[in-house]
Amino acid sequence: MNPFDVIVIGGGHAGAEAAAAAARTGAHTALVTHKRATIGEMSCNPAIGGLGKGHLVREVDALDGVMGRAADRAGIQFRMLNRSKGPAVRGPRTQADRKLYRQAVQDILSEYETLTIIEDGVEDLIVEDGPGGPRVAGVIGLSGQSWRAGAVVVTTGTFLKGLIHIGEKRIPAGRAGEAPAIGLSDRLYGLGLKMGRLKTGTPARLDGSTIDWAGLDMQAADAEPVPFSFLTEKITTPQIACGVTWTTAEVHRVIGDNLNRSAVYSGAIAGRGPRYCPSIEDKVKRFADRDRHQIFLEPEGLDDDTVYPNGISTSLPEEVQEVFIRKIPGLERVAIRRFGYAIEYDYVDPRELGPDLQVKALPGLFLAGQINGTTGYEEAAGQGLIAGLNAARLAAGSDPVILDRSQAYIGVMLDDLTSRGVSEPYRMFTSRAEYRLTLRADNADRRLTQAGIDAGCVGAGRAQAFHVKRRQLDEARAKLQSLSLTPNEARGHGITINLDGRRRTAMEVLAYAGVDFARLVAIWPELAGTAPVIAEQMEIEAGYAGYLDRQEADILAFRRDEDLRLPADLDYGVIGGLSNEAREKLRTARPATLGQAARIEGLTPGAITALLGHVRRAAKSA
C-alpha cells in the first residue's frame, strides 16, 4: 500500500501549487524539497503578475491556489498595467517582499492537514511494470530512503543538470548556492523522452544604501492597490516606490567590448534563452540602434535594502559587471552584493505530455514548470496546479481535469506547450489567447471556480464566497434588465440616445460612452446599494456585450472540434489521405482532440479533413 497518494518534487512555484492542489482534494501528499526554508523562494525577480501573467495568477486563485493570496500578503508595490486600455488586456502586477512572500507560501501550505513536507533531494524514480506496462510508483531520495505513491509530480525548475555561467566560470547549481539534480535528469533521459537545454538569467543584486536615489525618477504604487485574490478585501502591506534609470552609450560600449567574454556569446551556452526577457548583452547586440535601455530598481523587501535592477540580466565576468553597472546613472558608487549569472538546464519537450501534464510514455508521472520549457513564476504556478490536481485524480481513479483554450489562459498555455512544443522558454502574453475578451483577469472566478468546486480542489470558504458573489451578479444583472427609459427620458438625464421611441434597459444605457454605474444610480436610486465590485463587473459586461456575443459564437465553433476526442490508440497508419509527414506528426503529438490536431504546426486542412472523416466513420461502425 502506498503511504502517499501524490509525491511532488520541488518546492518552487510549480511545486507549491501542485502540492496544495493535490492536498485540497484530500489526497495524502508529500512535498519533497532540499530545504523547507526555501519553499516559495523567488529565485529571480521579486515580482508577481504583469501582462498575461496577471491573468494566470487570477486563474490560479480562482481554482483556490496559493500564488494570489501570497502575493497579496507580500506585495509592496501594486500596479495595474494597461489601466488606460480595455479590461481584457489589463494586467495586475506587484513588486513583492521576498521574505514575506516566502513566508506566506509556507504559511498557506501549513494549513493543509494532508500535506507532509520532506527535506531531501530526489535521486531517482521508482518505475514498476504493471498490467498496462511501466508506470511510476514512487521516488528515491538522496538520503537513500524511498517513498511510494500513486502519482509523482516533478517540478524541478532549473535544477536538472543546472549549470551557472559567469563569464568563463562554470558552477554546477540549480540556483545560486544550491546543488543541481543530476540523477533525476539521467533517469528522464533514460526513459527515452525527448529533452533539450534552455537557459535563463538574472542580474546582479545591489546594495540599496549605496544608490543615489535623489538623482533618479521614482515610480509610485497605485493609490488604491487592486488585489490578486478574489478573497482579499484590502491590501494592508505598506507600499513603496521603485527607481527608474537607463543605460548609456558608455555602458553599451563596455558591454560591446566584452561580448566575447559573455557566456551567451562565447559559445559556452547551447540552450536558447527567453526572447522576451533578454540579457543586457542581447539588448546591446540585437538593438544596436538604441542608445539606452530602461532599468527598474526594485527593492526586495521592506526591511531589506537589497535592490534588484530589472533589465540588466547578464552572464558577463564579474569584473566587467563591476565596470558597466557603475556607469549607469545613480549607480556610480553602488556596492554589488551578488553578481548576475546565466543558468543552463535540462527540459523535457512538452509534446511528450498529454493535456493533463502526464507523461504519455510513463503513466503516473506528471511534469510542471520550467521542466516543460516555460519561464516565469506565473506559468509555473498554473502548470503546477493542474499537474497536482490531475495527479491526485489519477491516484483516486478519477478522470483528469483539462482546461481548453476557450476557458482559461492556463488552457491556452497547456495547449500551446503540448501541441506545438517550444524552441525557447515560453512566456504568456494576452496576444496568445484567441478569446481574450472572454478570458479577462476580472472574471477568472466566474470562469473557473465552479469547475474547481466540481473537481474537488476549491475549499469551503472560497466556494461560499463565490456563490454569494455569483448571486449578487445575477441579481444586479436582472435588476438592470428590468429598469428602462425612453430616449427622451435619457436626454433629460444628459444621455444622448437616438430618438427612435425604443426604450433602453439600464444595462443598455450603461454601454453608452460616458455612462458609468454612478450615472445609473442618479437615474435609478434603487441601484445605490450595489457593491463596487459588482458595479464594475456590470460596466464591463455592458461595454463588451456585442463583442462577447460574437466571441461566444466563435467559442461554440471551437468547441465542436475540441469535443471530438481522438482515441489514444488511434492507428494513423490506416487513415487514407494522410501524407507520411502528417502521419509522423500525429504519431509524435498524439493529439487528444481534433482541435488540438488542427493546431499541430505544418498539419494541412486536408489532413484534418481526412482525420475527421476516419474518426466519424469509425464511430458509426462501432
Condensed to tens digits (0 to 9), the pLDDT of residues 358-393 reads 999 999 999 999 999 999 999 999 999 999 999 999
CB atoms closer than 10 angstroms to residue 306:
17
C-beta separation of 295 from 331 below 8 A? no
Domain 461-554 grouped into CATH 1.10.10.1800: yes
Which of the pair, 61 or 498, is modelled with greater confidence? 61
pLDDT digits (tens, 9 = 90+) for 83-128: 989 899 999 999 999 999 999 999 999 999 999 999 999 999 999 9
Segment 395-415 mean pLDDT: 95
Q: Which phi and psi (to 5°) does residue 368 adopt?
A: -150, 140
What's the pLDDT at 548?
A: 85
Pick the range with the lowest mean pLDDT from 132-136, 259-263, 422-426, 598-602.
Answer: 598-602
pLDDT of residue 622: 67
| 4-158+186-201+345-457 CATH choice from 1.10.150.120, 3.40.50.880, 3.40.50.300, 3.50.50.60 | 3.50.50.60
Q: Is the pLDDT of residue 606 over 90?
A: no
CATH 2.40.30.260, the chain: domain bounds: 205-341
Residue owning grid cell 501541441:
419
What is the band of 177 on the pLDDT scale with cuts at 50, 70, 90? confident
Compute the distance between CA of residue 59 and CA of residue 48 in angstroms, rounded to an integer: 13
Can you give the pTM of this predicted structure?
0.91
The C-alpha cell 427620458 sits at 489
Q: Is pLDDT at 30 greater than 90 in this prediction?
A: yes
When comparing pLDDT for 554 and 401, which is higher?
401
Residue 592 confidence class, pLDDT cut points 50, 70, 90: confident
Taking CA atoms, 518 is separated from 176, 434, 479, 528, in Å, by 53, 33, 15, 8
Q: Where are the domain boundaries for CATH 1.10.150.570 in the chain?
A: 564-621
Query: Residue 1: its pLDDT value, please?
Result: 52
- How far apart, in Å, are the Cα atoms of 509 and each of 429, 462, 513? 33, 33, 9
CA 591/CA 600 separation, integer angstroms:
8
User: What pLDDT is attached to residue 283?
Assistant: 93
452-467: b (≥16 Cβ within 10 Å) or e: bbebbbbeeebeeebe
* 327-336 mean pLDDT: 98
Where do the CATH 3.50.50.60 domains begin and end in the chain?
4-158+186-201+345-457
Residue 602 pLDDT? 75
Q: What is the dihedral of CA 520, 526, 532, 536, to 10 degrees?
A: -40
- List the alpha helices (DSSP H) in 25-147: 53-62, 67-74, 98-109
β pairing state of 115-119 and 29-33: parallel
% of the chain residues with pLDDT over 70: 99
Q: State pLDDT tens for residues 504-554.
A: 999 999 999 899 999 999 999 999 999 999 999 999 999 998 888 888 888
Helix axes 444-455, 460-482, angle to 10 degrees: 140
CATH 2.40.30.260 describes domain 205-341: yes
Distance CA 564, CA 617 (A): 13
Contact 7, 149 (CB under 8 A): yes
What is residue 540's predicted lDDT score, i.e. its pLDDT? 94
Residue that is written with C-alpha cell 486563474 in the block? 59
Range with the largest mean pLDDT of 59-68, 266-275, 281-290, 499-508: 59-68
Cell 535540462 maps to which residue?
A: 346
37-70 tens-digit pLDDT: 999 999 999 999 999 999 999 999 999 999 999 9
pLDDT greater than 60 at residue 239: yes
> What stretch(es) of the chain map to CATH 1.10.10.1800?
461-554
pLDDT at 257: 95
| Residue predicted with more confidence, 178 or 242 | 242
Q: Could you identify the residue written with the cell 540599496?
A: 208
The pLDDT-based confidence of 2 (bands split at 50, 70, 90) is low
pLDDT band of 80, cuts 50, 70, 90: very high
The reported pLDDT for the residue numbered 490 is 92
**For the chain, what is the mean pLDDT?**
93
**Distance between CA atoms of residues 417 and 421, nearest Å:** 5
- Which helix or strand (DSSP H or E) is residue 77 part of? strand 75-81
pLDDT at 100: 98
Average pLDDT over residues 405-434: 92
CATH number of 564-621: 1.10.150.570
